[in-house]
A and B are shown apart, each in its own frame.
Chain A
């Protein structure tokens, strides 16, 4: 009997979609060929529109709810553990390493889920100003984050490239080149975890094709690069970004408090004290 092969599509605004360009690129896994969406400029624009509204919805939830949705994601992955391991093995990873990767991935989600309702306490504070004022610095998530995932095929790496901004309320466009099949499989678990549409969009393709579109797009607030871009590419991204003072982070921290710092905007509010 012939096996049924899964068709992988981008995950945008809570839906599985092909690239509007109709273009794909081929990835071979265990003698099976997968045609993956080759994201176009138009796809990026559509995704940003979704991420903008996704940001409002996701950030509008209480930290308590965001925490539970992230925890729900760990439940989904736990339930599908075997299929992830199988997929990683088909990428050439040993079964033992694959199991370890999934275990670490779940551990990462648990860590960040628990941070969702605590990071403001860790990153904000009252300021002891020298006059009769109440003065507090608290944080807002920066908005729409484009995250280019690591070239290593690893669920844990993929998660660590999107969890820091996602946890604090940013919407994330996660873009994968090498780990595209894994990312698109992961989209199924996002879909089952009650994330509001647009809060986490998953795209695949060749980054070089959309490098300029992403770095010039004024409604992407931050570009996070989790893999080395050959120097000219990074230069181009940063040059493009300067036209709208866009934030670009290259190989940012992916653990601990330092992992969320690039995605925060600190807002300080003053009010006089008096009778």
Chain B
């Protein structure tokens, strides 16, 4: 193999100025937490302390919800066209400060700069633009007699796409006339707090967007607050179930975007090199910290050996390292906790009898890292074939017939996404029809667009984000 030597090409972090300590954003102001407690946020690629953010308590959540209620009074009285203009303005402001956000995202979360710069941030702006245009056309969106906003929406988002998940939540909620209390993830709060500055600059009426930081206990306070009208959560199925349970018997709306264990089906008549690229993108994008990651590779038996050989070769060219290096393909694992989880599941896979392949690459001394990993010789009953690993770990299973592929693909409690690779159009449609998954990528994988609904079947949650269907997550439809 040719030994490609890359020169480092480090994106400067000068564009970002990180404060030593942050405040919550409530009622249009940055306010210190009444809890007087803070949590550290570190860079997962160096383990250096970046800043401290509030560990919000009950009093903090009370004032955030109160502010969102007050904000609703103002927001609901604006014309739809005015709401639309605010969202357009936010979209533009994000575009203008895009590089700053991208660098901060990579520092705080560990994702490669080429992804935060070329994927996350463009998508963030696009989401605000897309929903800006819906704000004054809701009456055209669905042929129902009445569509009403919920009111105050509590939004709890994960650490894998911090700012993008914020955009997926806030843009449609505001476009449909709701106000929000949003809690970013414990390990990646900084871009959400920078977004608060954008709201301020856009002159958004106070209380329309409130951002409070904290840990799981803070999230639970939002879920259990009596004045919350709807909860939108993206995260693990385990926590999603707890939230659904907490809301039992209460008149509170809920949408859940939970875990996945997507099958990426490669038929023998697929364009193999294209499929190898797609499979790599499907699992190694964002270190595999993707709920819709194509983590179960389903190979038709006849192409197994050939495909695995090509895949291993391609994996070996993935560059793991400094997220701010523009050459980096795979950045840091988001946290020590997540690294431990990945490590433990991979060890279990080896103990179960899976055949392990990991790329040979030098990992940085500090920070949290995991080598791109491929398992072959796996039985469907192994944990690595059933549980969401949420890391750069791909598990291979084989099948003989299309029927068997569909059966294996659907044999999971999850149903978020799936991939199909074949050059035969009718087989794509036949397979896509039978897959229990909210998103099916055919001859592609991990594509996203604000106009394209995203969300799961079964235990991957309910409700859609994005597109015309995404509006229904924030509107009550009746006839």
Contacts and interface: CB of A to CB of B under 8 A. Distances in A.
A179 to B, nearest CB: 23
Interface string A256-275: 11110100011111111000
Given A137-B469, A256-B145, A268-B440, A129 B245 contact: no
Q: How large is the interface on B (under 10, 10 to 19, 20 to 34, 35 or more residues)?
A: 35 or more
B19 interface: no
Given A127-B449, A267-B432, A261 B256 contact: no
Contact of A245 (B237, B428, B438): B237
Given A133-B444, A245-B244, A267-B440, A128 B144 contact: no
A270 B438 contact: no
B419 to A, nearest CB: 10
A232 interface: yes
Contacts of A129: 447, 449, 451-452
A188 to B, nearest CB: 30
Contacts of A125: 467-468
Nearest to A222: B462
A267 B438 contact: yes
Interface in A94-142: 122, 125, 127-131, 133, 135, 137, 140
Interface in A213-267: 231-232, 234-239, 241-245, 247, 253, 255-259, 261, 265-267
Nearest to A137: B453
B459 to A, nearest CB: 5
Nearest to A252: B478
Given A238-B244, A261-B477, A270 B452 contact: yes
Given A267-B439, A269-B442, 16 more contacts: A127-B449, A131-B449, A133-B447, A137-B452, A137-B468, A231-B249, A238-B247, A242-B245, A245-B237, A245-B256, A257-B479, A267-B432, A267-B457, A268-B440, A268-B454, A271-B444
Residue of B126, B242, B436, B477 with most chain A CB atoms under a 10 A cut-off: B477
A270 to B, nearest CB: 5
Interface string A185-220: 000000000000000000000000000000000000
A247 to B, nearest CB: 6
B444 A258 contact: no
Nearest to B249: A235
A238 B249 contact: yes
Residue of A140, A247, A270, A271 with most chain B CB atoms under a 10 A cut-off: A270
Interface string B403-439: 0000000000100000000000000100010011111
B338 to A, nearest CB: 23
B444 A270 contact: yes
B258 A245 contact: yes
B442 A270 contact: yes
A232 B443 CA distance: 49
Contacts of B226: none
B326 to A, nearest CB: 22
B1 interface: no
A245 B477 contact: no
B248 interface: yes
B461 interface: yes
